[in-house]
C-alpha cells in the first residue's frame, strides 16, 4: 500500500543525516559527559556543539539553552519554573485558549494551586487581540505564555508585539515555539521573549528531547531536581545521542529552512486549493496568510472528520484532526471551538501538515482519492440530502426564471 504522510505537526520522520550523527553516541561514545576522564570527553564535546547549534537557530548564547526531555517538559519548566520563583511578586498568568495541552494542563494545575490565569479569546481566524492582552496585565502578572504558532491551524501569533508589550510592563514572556521552529525564522531578540520551547521530533530529529531557551538573568527553579546538569536547572544524565540529534536538527533547519519552506508552501497551497475546488462545502480554518507554510486545516461540512481520517488511513494517507490524543481517540478540538467554529464543522475538520519528504505526486494522490470518499460519506448523511434538496430547488427556480 502507498504510504503518504501529511501529519508533520504530530511528528516528523527522522532525517538520515540526523540519524547518522546520533548513532556513534549509542555505541562507541557511551561515556557520561560529566566524567572527568577520557570516556566523558567526546560526549561532552558533542553536547557543547549541539548547544551551539541550538543557540544559532534561536540567535541566543549557548549558555541560554537548557536541554529537556520533550516540548511538554520545556513548557512545564518554563511556566512552573518561573511562576514558582516569582510567588512573592504575584500569582497572575496570561495565556490564550488555543495553547497546546502541555501549556493548558500546566496552567489548569496552577489554577488549582492558587494561581490566577487569564485565558485570552481568539477571533474566528485564530488571532488574539493585543489590546485585550495589554488590558489584562495587572501588577500581579508574573508571566505571559503564548504559543508562536498553533499546532492545529498553523496560525502564527504576533509574538514580536506580545514580547514588546510584556517588556514594557516588565512581565516575563514565554512562547511555545514547538510548531514554529524550523518552519519560520525564530529569533529570540526579535521576539523579545524570555523563554522559548522547541522539540527535536518536529524538526526531523528524535523523540524525547527538546530545549528551552532561558534568557540570561531569568530565574527558573527546576521541576526535576538533581545534580549540576544544565546549570542545576534540570537534573538527569544527559541524553547524549538525542541531544546530538537535536543539535543536528537545528543545524539542518537553519540551513534548509528557506528552501524547504517555499517548496512545502507550494505543495500546501496546491493541496488546499485542490481540495477546496474539488469538494464543495469546504472551508479553511485559520488566518489565510499568517500561518505556517506547511499546515492546512480544512472543514468539510456534513462529514465526520474521524471517519474521514480512518478512510484516508486505509488508503495509506496519514492526516489528523488536530492533536494526537493519548488513547488514540479523537476529541472535538478546543482550538476550533475557541475560534467559534460551529461544532458540526469542527467535527468535520482535518489537518494536513506537510513536510520536506512530500511531493506533488503525494498531493495529487490525495486530490484523486479524497473527493469520492467525502462524496460517499455525504451520500449517507441525512443532513446532506436535505442540503442537496435545497440546492436542487434553488437551481430549479433559477432555471424557471
In whole angstroms, give the CA distance from residue 10 to residue 259.
Answer: 22
Query: x/- string (CB under 8 A) for another protein, residues 70-109?
Result: -----------------------------------x--xx
In whole angstroms, give the CA distance from residue 304 to residue 376.
Answer: 12
Of 49, 304, 387, 388, the residue at the interface with another protein (CB under 8 A) is 304
Contacts of 269 (CB under 8 A, 6+ apart): none
Nearer to another protein, 258 or 331 (CB): 331
310 lines the binding site for another protein (CB under 8 A): yes
Query: Could you tell me which residues are beta bridge partners of residue 4?
Result: 317
Sign of the four-CA dihedral 385, 391, 397, 399:
negative
Grid coordinates standing for 177? 515555539
Write b or e for each residue in 103-115: b if 16 or more Cβ atoms lie within 10 A of its Cβ, otherwise e: bbebbeebeeeeb
377 lines the binding site for another protein (CB under 8 A): yes
Could you tell me the smallest distance in angstroms from the CB atom of residue 105 to another protein? 7
Nearer to another protein, 107 or 363 (CB): 107
Query: x/- string (CB under 8 A) for another protein, residues 169-198?
Result: ------------------------------
By CB under 8 A, how many residues form the interface with another protein?
20
Query: Grid coordinates 522539540 are at which residue?
Result: 199
Grid coordinates standing for 269? 497551497
The stretch near another protein (CB under 8 A) out of 73-81, 156-164, 305-313, 360-368 is 305-313
In whole angstroms, give the CA distance from residue 287 to residue 139.
Answer: 33
Nearer to another protein, 123 or 313 (CB): 313
Subset of residues 331 to 360 that bind another protein, contact rule: CB under 8 A: 331
The stretch near another protein (CB under 8 A) out of 129-137, 172-180, 220-228, 376-384 is 376-384
386 lines the binding site for another protein (CB under 8 A): no
Subset of residues 311 to 330 that bind another protein, contact rule: CB under 8 A: 311, 313-314, 327-330
Nearest partner of 40 among 25, 51, 20, judged by Cα: 25
Q: What angle do CA 3, 6, 9 make, to 5 degrees?
A: 135
Nearest partner of 301 among 317, 318, 333, 279, judged by Cα: 279
Give the containing element (helix H, strand E) for 141: strand 141-145
Catalytic pick among 60, 193, 250, 325: 325
325 assigned to active site: yes
Binding site for another protein (CB under 8 A): 105, 108-109, 112, 304, 306-307, 310-311, 313-314, 327-331, 372, 376-377, 380
**Catalytic center residues:** 325
Amino acid at each position: 500500500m502507498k504510504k503518504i504522510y501529511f501529519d508533520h505537526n504530530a511528528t516528523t520522520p527522522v532525517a538520515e543525516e540526523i540519524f547518522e550523527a546520533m548513532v556513534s553516541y549509542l555505541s562507541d561514545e557511551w561515556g557520561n559527559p560529566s566524567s572527568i576522564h577520557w570516556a566523558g570527553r567526546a560526549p561532552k564535546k558533542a553536547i557543547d556543539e549541539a548547544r551551539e547549534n541550538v543557540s544559532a537557530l534561536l540567535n541566543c548564547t549557548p549558555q541560554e539553552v537548557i536541554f529537556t526531555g520533550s516540548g511538554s517538559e520545556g513548557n512545564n519548566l518554563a511556566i512552573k519554573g518561573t511562576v514558582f520563583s516569582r510567588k512573592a511578586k504575584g500569582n497572575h498568568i496570561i495565556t490564550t485558549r488555543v495553547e497546546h495541552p502541555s501549556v493548558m494542563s500546566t496552567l489548569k494545575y496552577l489554577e488549582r494551586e492558587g494561581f490566577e490565569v487569564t485565558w485570552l479569546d481568539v477571533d474566528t481566524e485564530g488571532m488574539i487581540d493585543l489590546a485585550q492582552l495589554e488590558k489584562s496585565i495587572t501588577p500581579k502578572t508574573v508571566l505571559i505564555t503564548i504559543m508562536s504558532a498553533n499546532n492545529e491551524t498553523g496560525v502564527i501569533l504576533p509574538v514580536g508585539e506580545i514580547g514588546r508589550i510584556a517588556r514594557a510592563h516588565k512581565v516575563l514572556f514565554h512562547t511555545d515555539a514547538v510548531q514554529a521552529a524550523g518552519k519560520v525564522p525564530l529569533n529570540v531578540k526579535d521576539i523579545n521573549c524570555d523563554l522559548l520551547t522547541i522539540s527535536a521530533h518536529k524538526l526531523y530529529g528524535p523523540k524525547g528531547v527538546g530545549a528551552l531557551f532561558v534568557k540570561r538573568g531569568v530565574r527558573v527553579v527546576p521541576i526535576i531536581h538533581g545534580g549540576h546538569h544544565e546549570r542545576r536547572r534540570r537534573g538527569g544524565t544527559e541524553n547524549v545521542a538525542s541531544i546530538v540529534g537535536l543539535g543536528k536538527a537545528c543545524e539542518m533547519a537553519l540551513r534548509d529552512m528557506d528552501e524547504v519552506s517555499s517548496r512545502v508552501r507550494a505543495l500546501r497551497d496546491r493541496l488546499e486549493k485542490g481540495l477546496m475546488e474539488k469538494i464543495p462545502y469546504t472551508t479553511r480554518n485559520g488566518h489565510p496568510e499568517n500561518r505556517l507554510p506547511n499546515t492546512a486545516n480544512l472543514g468539510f461540512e456534513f462529514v465526520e472528520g474521524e471517519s474521514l481520517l480512518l478512510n484516508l488511513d486505509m488508503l495509506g494517507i496519514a492526516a489528523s484532526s488536530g492533536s494526537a490524543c493519548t488513547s488514540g481517540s479523537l476529541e472535538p478540538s478546543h482550538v476550533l471551538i475557541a475560534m467559534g467554529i460551529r461544532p458540526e464543522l469542527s467535527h468535520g475538520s482535518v489537518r494536513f501538515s506537510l513536510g520536506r519528504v512530500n511531493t506533488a505526486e503525494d498531493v495529487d494522490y490525495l486530490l484523486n482519492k479524497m473527493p469520492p470518499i467525502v462524496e460517499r460519506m455525504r451520500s449517507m448523511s441525512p443532513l446532506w440530502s436535505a442540503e442537496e434538496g435545497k440546492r436542487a430547488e434553488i437551481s430549479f427556480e433559477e432555471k424557471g426564471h
